Amino acid sequence: MIKRKLKPYVLPTFLLIISIIGLSTYAILNNLNSNLNDNPENLTYVSEEIITDDTPVMNTEVKMINPYTEESVTIGKYYYDYKGESAQQEKSIIFHDNTYIQNSGIDFVNEKTFDVLAVLDGTVINVKDDETLGKIVEIKHDNDYISIYQSLSETTVSKGDKITQGQIIGKSGTNELDKEIGNHLHFELYINGQVVDPMQYLNKEINQKNN
């Protein structure tokens, strides 16, 4: 093997280069540190958590209650179901002013006046007095549910009121449309703008969003 010797000037030159690099690096770091100390406003501090625990939207089961508690209340007229049996449909027809009308809700009847309750939590969106239908209360609930209470003799809520489930919103009464069945509550239920058979939802669990 042939041994090679470094030329006399190579080693000093190499050491000089290493020294220059070291001094340059030190100068740069020192200058950077000086700028940061002189200008603390340039520093950005993280004062909040980067990862947050957002509460997810939860679906909770809520039971829709009857709009009354009086045990002697019965059904005078049922919701008219186009797909229902003819015998049931006959009990869902209203005759008024020489016209047969398909019932869009359920008529709960009783000989004496009874308290009318909100079937779910919600907000009152309308309270009015109609010559044909009597006093009316409309309540909007979660998931685009709207409950309507007609044929009331009196109301105890106003538009914009926040209502809790089971709260008394009025009392049963009479109206001109269902005059022949006497004292009663006409109850309707809408979901996403479509009228539905209340019996498919009363006393049953329904999904509601809970943020």
The first and second tokens of residue 39, run together, are: 């200008």
pLDDT of 66 > 70? The answer is yes
Could you report the per-residue pLDDT of 17-54, keeping only the tens digit for each? 565 665 565 555 556 555 545 555 554 544 555 445 55
Query: 58-210 falls under which CATH superfamily?
Result: Glucose Permease (Domain IIA) (2.70.70.10)
* Pure H helices in 61-206: 86-90
Q: Give the Å distances, CA to CA, from 46 to 32, 43, 51, 171.
A: 21, 10, 12, 59
* Residue type, position 85, single letter: E
Q: Where are the domains of the chain?
A: 58-210
Task: Note if the pTM is more than 0.95.
Answer: no
What percentage of residues in the chain have a pLDDT greater than 70? 69
Rounded to an integer, the average pLDDT of 108-126 is 97
> Could you count the other beta carbons within 10 Å of the beta carbon of residue 181?
17
At residue 47, the pLDDT reads: 52
Q: How confident is the model at residue 4 (pLDDT cuts 50, 70, 90)?
A: very low
The first and second tokens of residue 123, run together, are: 């907000």
Could you give the angle at the alpha carbon of 69 between the alpha carbons of 68 and 71, nearest 5°?
Answer: 115
Q: Give the Å distances, CA to CA, from 177 to 28, 101, 169, 183, 198.
A: 92, 10, 21, 12, 19
pLDDT higher at 145 or 4: 145
Helix (H, G, I), strand (E, B) or coil at 69: coil
* Residue type, position 101, single letter: I
Q: How confident is the model at residue 67 (pLDDT cuts 50, 70, 90)?
A: very high
Could you report the per-residue pLDDT of 146-204, keeping only the tens digit for each? 999 999 999 999 999 999 999 999 999 999 888 889 999 999 999 999 999 999 999 99
At residue 87, the pLDDT reads: 74
Helix-then-strand count for the chain, H and E: 2, 14
Strand residue runs (E) in the chain: 58-63, 74-77, 93-96, 99-102, 106-109, 115-117, 122-130, 134-140, 145-155, 162-163, 168-172, 184-191, 194-196, 205-210
Q: Which of 114, 107, 121, 120 is nearest to 69 (CA)?
A: 114
